[in-house]
Amino acid sequence: GENVEQHPSTLSVQEGDSAVIKCTYSDSASNYFPWYKQELGKGPQLIIDIRSNVGEKKDQRIAVTLNKTAKHFSLHITETQPEDSAVYFCAGYSGSARQLTFGSGTQLTVLP
Amino acid sequence: NAGVTQTPKFRVLKTGQSMTLLCAQDMNHEYMYWYRQDPGMGLRLIHYSVGEGTTAKGEVPDGYNVSRLKKQNFLLGLESAAPSQTSVYFCASSYPPSTTEAFFGQGTRLTVV
């Protein structure tokens, strides 16, 4: 089945700086890659996603890039703010397996 | 619009006891999932369902059973709870691959003593 690895496990940045979180996946049949943000005591919420026919997608301060050949995708957050502090999860979805497999998470801390 | 609702939110069990976690969604989603979240291990898939009356095993199914008798409900059962099942459990639902965003519930924190 799919295996998704995520790095780093913790990331601290100064407010206003950029943050990058990277993930790799193993199943070449995976075609959908969402990113979720989880705030303390809450369930994960989708913040951005990308499908395998697209190389990059942006939504205001958030962007995701996908390299299908290398089987890796990344989350980029620019101009970070304290409210960006949370745990971020990447995931890969294989239509054939119909499973959504998550990475191990990144605790992002934005320092004021 | 309630989305995905999990019941209960907190529970303490003694080793060997049984319980059922209920997940209900009001978005007419076909797919439903049960995950467990442990520190440093992300979200691991326990069981999932791609439609009413269907269930399938995920990555960590041992010690759990599920049922999907109604489209809107997905039940997770622990027949004989063990301390290793202490975790936070999340339910999620989504449409099939054409629209695949998964919506999560608020979680159930289960402690087995």
Range of lowest pLDDT (A42-56, B66-80, B95-109): B95-109
Q: Would you state the pLDDT for residue B56?
A: 94
Give the angle B52-B27-B72 at the CA atoms, nearest 5°.
Answer: 30
Inter-chain CB proximity A43 and B31 less than 8 Å: no
pLDDT at B99: 63
**Yes or no, beta carbons of B42 and A103 under 8 Å apart:** yes
Classify residue B98 by burial, with Cβ atoms within 10 Å: 0-12, 13-18, 19+: exposed
SS3 A46: strand
A40-95: per-residue pLDDT in tens? 989 999 999 998 888 999 999 999 999 999 999 999 999 999 999 999 999 998 77
Is residue A44 within 8 angstroms of chain B, CB to CB?
yes
Q: What is the DSSP letter of B101?
A: P
* Both tokens assigned to A9: 């496990």
pLDDT tens, B52-65?
999 999 999 999 99
Give the pLDDT confidence score for residue A98 in this predicted structure: 79
Query: What is the distance in angstroms between the Cα of A104 and the nearest Cα belonging to chain B?
Result: 4
Helices in B1-113 by DSSP H: which ranges?
A: none
Q: Which two tokens stand for residue B91?
A: 């339910």
Q: What is the structure's pLDDT at B97?
A: 59
Instruction: Say if A71 is an interface residue toward chain B (CB within 8 Å).
Output: no
Q: What is the mean pLDDT of chain A?
A: 94
The partner residue sitting opposite B106, judged by closest CB among A9, A43, A105, is A43
What gap in Å lies between CA B67 and CA B92, rounded to an integer?
Answer: 15
